[in-house]
Structure 1
């Protein structure tokens, strides 16, 4: 849709200048090129008006990832003292159509920070995650909201529901760690003990999902527990004839920790498992297991 000529009669569009001999000129849509010509003209004079605001909306319809346009739109909104709650509604519609557009999420963050009101944000993010539970931008924004507005109280329950629905939701495991250890209220040793038991049960449901393995190792590192508490789990998985490189690799961690305390038997067993992983069960990471083998040999 072409721009209204009478609205822009006082402005001379500034054409795109790619230089005398552009290597790969982009064949822009004629209407988009026209809109950008007027945008260059008004941005040169820093015009912050209703027509400029409508122009940014028009360009966003063509290219919702245009960071410069979003930034200029913010300046106009603030200068005209526009209703930012209405702008949040506009951004909501845009995100629903383009949920993995970083510029949209950043624009929403700027608005919420200006309003200092996050009352609508978690329900909105929940809608987006309901459609795609692994949307990186939604999770990043959620973490910012939680930290900025101190909304930690119900987050673990939210993550529990996601993991009950899909134990392989790696984003939810990441959020679980964030919720426990970036929270100003740190978990107690008693809670971490219960948490380890919780994760062990989840690992049994999907032994080849790396996220809970990484998560439980992080929990152990943050507590006073010894990684040896996972040996029974690893061997139980092995007895079920389930080939899980993560379980087998965890045994390497366990044996290495004991070898560092002087156990020759565990050192040899760790070396044996490294060879097994490198040559058979996790050959794609052969060099890594050979490196771990070198470390064990040097102990």
Structure 2
């Protein structure tokens, strides 16, 4: 293979831009690394050639079909280059390119680089320009089937759903994903996103329905932090918070059965702190010690901190009780005298 040619990605013989007759009028622009580069990146010959010409057209702001094709070659070598993507979008508009073809192109790249931010951003811009989300949910369903926890796909899905008000079937979609994998934190997060942005968290009946959904999931695997976190997020929007009767009853029954899930034990501590039952305070002290020393060593410092909070509550309760006792005794003395 000669120094001026190589094998292309499609198997065709690659011709360097510096050897192409239709690019003879362009002076390539070398990468500026300063007079004393400490560590120069060892770009291969093809990369240097493509990006030398890419810098040249950027410098001259050339608007042409050949420049558009050059962006594709540049992105093949580095699909994360923001500047090239931005220039490609400029060319798409100025050359009045078919955005449907661009969708096919970006879909292929996402299949190849599913976690490349710049590619997903480019797709978002295409959807905005076309004002048409009709292809997105099916496309994203396939992307998330391949990788249920792809952050970029979820971010794009949330953007599309919110911008174009496509919430209608999203709860059912998340329920399906959660049914497949109870530990899919991304699906739980998406479900919370939906109930938050559809006003369901301002409707007590809807909140209770979602709490029941979470409790059923917790029963299937009590160590699943995702379901516990989802329920806690719901409780923020209820009148009684962690002291909601259904949740208190559920946790007490689960604890009575001998369950020692750290998430359950943490709920019991929070219930004690928020409640006013001295017996539960004493139990919470013991639970804090169990978590720190046995069930949740990783967060031992946090549970030690919670132990001090519970102790302070117990002390404050004793002081309040003593003041009440003194006041009653004083009132009784006044009455007797």
> Which residue of structure 1 lines up, in the alignment, with residue 296 of structure 2?
282
Which of 193, 198, 208 is equivalent to 1:193? Answer: 208
Cα distance between partner residues in 1 of 2:43 and 2:290: 56
Deviation at 1:21, TM superposition (A): 2.0
Per the normalisation by structure 2, the TM-score is 0.84
Is the radius of gyration larger for structure 1 or structure 2?
2
Structure 1 residues 55-204: aligned runs within 5 Å: 55-183=70-198, 188-204=203-219
Alignment partners' CA distance in 2, 1:81 and 1:189 = 51
C-alpha displacement of 1:271: 1.8
Helix, strand or coil: the match of 1:208? coil
Partner of 2:251: 234
Q: Does 1:264 align with 2:278?
A: yes
1:246-281 residue CA offsets vs partner (Å, 9 max, x unmatched): 1111111111111xx4x3222222222111111111
Which structure has the higher relative contact order (CA within 8 Å, separation 6+)? 1
| 1:7 aligned counterpart, secondary structure | helix
Secondary structure, aligned partner of 2:291: helix
1:35 aligned partner: 50
Contact 1:159 1:176 (C-alpha < 8 Å) held by counterparts: yes
Q: Any idea what SS the aligned residue of 1:96 has? A: helix
SS of the residue 1:21 aligns to: coil
Counterpart-to-counterpart distance in 2, 1:185 and 1:196? 12
Are residue 18 (structure 1) and residue 18 (structure 2) matched? no
* CA offsets 1:185-214 (integer angstroms, 9 cap, x no match): 655211111111111010111111111101
**Structure 2: which 5+ residue stretches go unaligned?**
1-13, 314-337
TM-score, normalising length from structure 1?
A: 0.94
> In 2, Cα distance between the equivalents of 1:41 and 1:7?
14
CA positional deviation for 1:233:
3.0
How far has the Cα of 1:49 moved from its partner?
1.1
Partner of 1:297: 311
